């Protein structure tokens, strides 16, 4: 199981550290957030100690009604060795007991001016992105008319050269050669470039070029949801390629199935234009329109009409 360190939250999400600096190496192993309201009453039978503990207005109001000894008891039982951190929301004043207990038990205490629900949302999104399943594939990822297109194929087949032509035509590069992919929300794949090669394209014969430097900031993106895959392959003379588009080809990356199109390469084919049209056709299908099915319906109608005329 993956994890992040509590120290990764310092300075992020509009939170400041108030106490427990020695505990910043604690592990966060889940994106779930706990609000320890019932624990404030003394019931710890099902205390989710492995989660971040978020103190909102209700929890704090109840805590302030307790006497000094009871407050110390609640904090001692809450601040376990496996609890990553405690976050106090809404910019509320932090009681001295929290500061003292945080430093005593090396429990990081964070303070946020945001509303409790806003803190939960931001923390959950941040941690889910950190814990998302991850892989890397060899290919090129571009944003073409708002569609995330992952171009794959054997090394040297022309993926980067095709990407360069697409960038010249106004589309945006996300990653070349290696695309890092994380799975979010069970069905979304988000692609990014490794830091080492961000904004770079390798063109055989020219070497490495910086796309943002040559074409401007509008020619690149840091990340993009992957919507479809275009697989480039050398033309095989006797192979039957999809000519009508009635058969939907798919490919799977981690747990997500994506539409895929195999494009054969041979002299005279403009790959940039073909990939542009594939992206536009994908958008058209999102609106419920399918040119291949429309053609098939027309053909069937003509055949039926021909049979009727013969009768």
Domains of the chain: 4-130 (3.40.1390.20), 132-294 (3.40.50.300)
pLDDT of amino acid 296: 63
pLDDT of amino acid 306: 66
pLDDT of amino acid 223: 95
Question: In whole angstroms, how far apart are CA 239 and each of 58, 85, 113?
Answer: 68, 60, 63
Q: What is the DSSP annotation of 152-180?
A: EESTTSSHHHHHHHHHHTT-EEEEEEEEE
Share of the chain above pLDDT 70, in %: 91
pLDDT-derived band at 128, boundaries 50, 70, 90: confident
pLDDT of amino acid 246: 54
Distance from the Cα of residue 132 to its chain's centroid? 8
* Residue 278 · residue 261 · CB < 8 Å: yes
pLDDT of amino acid 51: 96
pLDDT of amino acid 265: 86
Residue from 51, 74, 111, 159 carrying the catalytic annotation: 159
For 310, the 3-state DSSP assignment is: helix
| 134-182 pLDDT tens trace | 899 999 999 999 999 999 999 989 999 999 999 999 999 999 999 999 9
| 282-294 pLDDT tens trace | 888 887 776 666 7
Average pLDDT over residues 198-223: 94
Q: Is 268 annotated as a binding residue?
A: no
| 220-257 pLDDT tens trace | 999 999 999 999 998 877 776 665 555 678 999 998 99
138 is catalytic: yes
Residue from 22, 76, 138, 222 carrying the catalytic annotation: 138
Q: Is 245 annotated as a binding residue?
A: no
Q: Is 55 annotated as a binding residue?
A: no
Q: Decide if pLDDT at 125 tops 60.
A: yes
pLDDT of amino acid 311: 60
Residue from 71, 111, 171, 177 carrying the catalytic annotation: 177
pLDDT of amino acid 156: 87
225 is catalytic: no
Q: Decide if pLDDT at 82 tops 70.
A: yes
Residue from 68, 204, 239, 243 carrying the catalytic annotation: 243
243 is catalytic: yes
* Residue 151 · residue 232 · CB < 8 Å: yes
Q: Is 153 annotated as a binding residue?
A: yes
CA dist 232 and 161 (Å) reads 12
pLDDT-derived band at 297, boundaries 50, 70, 90: low
* Residue 171 · residue 181 · CB < 8 Å: no
pLDDT of amino acid 43: 96
204 is catalytic: no
DSSP secondary structure letter of residue 281: H
Q: Is 202 annotated as a binding residue?
A: yes
Q: Is 112 annotated as a binding residue?
A: no
Q: Is 61 annotated as a binding residue?
A: no
């Amino acid at each position: 199981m993956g994890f992040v360190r509590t120290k990764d939250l310092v300075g992020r999400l509009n939170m400041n550290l108030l106490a427990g600096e020695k505990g910043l190496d604690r592990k966060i192993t889940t994106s779930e957030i706990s609000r320890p309201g019932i624990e404030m009453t003394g019931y710890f039978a099902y205390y989710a100690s492995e989660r971040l503990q978020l103190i909102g207005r209700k929890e704090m109001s109840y805590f302030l009604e307790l006497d000094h000894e009871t407050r110390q008891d609640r904090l001692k039982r809450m601040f376990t060795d496996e609890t990553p951190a405690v976050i106090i929301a809404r910019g509320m004043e932090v009681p001295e007991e929290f500061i003292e207990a945080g430093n005593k038990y090396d429990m990081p205490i964070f303070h946020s001016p945001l509303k409790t629900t806003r803190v939960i949302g931001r923390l959950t999104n941040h941690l889910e992105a950190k814990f998302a399943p991850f892989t890397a594939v060899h290919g090129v990822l571009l944003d073409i008319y708002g569609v995330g297109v992952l171009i794959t194929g054997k090394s040297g087949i022309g993926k980067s050269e095709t990407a360069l032509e697409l960038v010249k035509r106004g589309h945006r590069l996300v990653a070349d050669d290696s695309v890092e992919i994380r799975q979010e929300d069970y069905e979304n794949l988000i692609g990014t470039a490794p830091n080492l090669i961000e904004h770079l394209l390798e063109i055989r014969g020219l070497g490495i070029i910086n796309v943002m430097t040559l074409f401007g900031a509008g020619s690149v993106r840091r990340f993009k949801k992957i919507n479809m895959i275009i697989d480039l392959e050398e033309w095989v003379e006797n192979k039957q390629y999809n000519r009508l588009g009635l058969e939907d080809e798919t490919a799977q990356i981690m747990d997500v199935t994506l539409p895929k199109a195999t494009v054969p390469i041979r002299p005279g084919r403009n790959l940039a234009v073909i990939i542009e049209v594939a992206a536009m056709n994908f958008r058209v299908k999102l609106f419920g329109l399918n040119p291949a099915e429309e053609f098939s319906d027309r053909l069937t109608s003509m055949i039926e009409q021909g049979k009727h005329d013969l009768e």
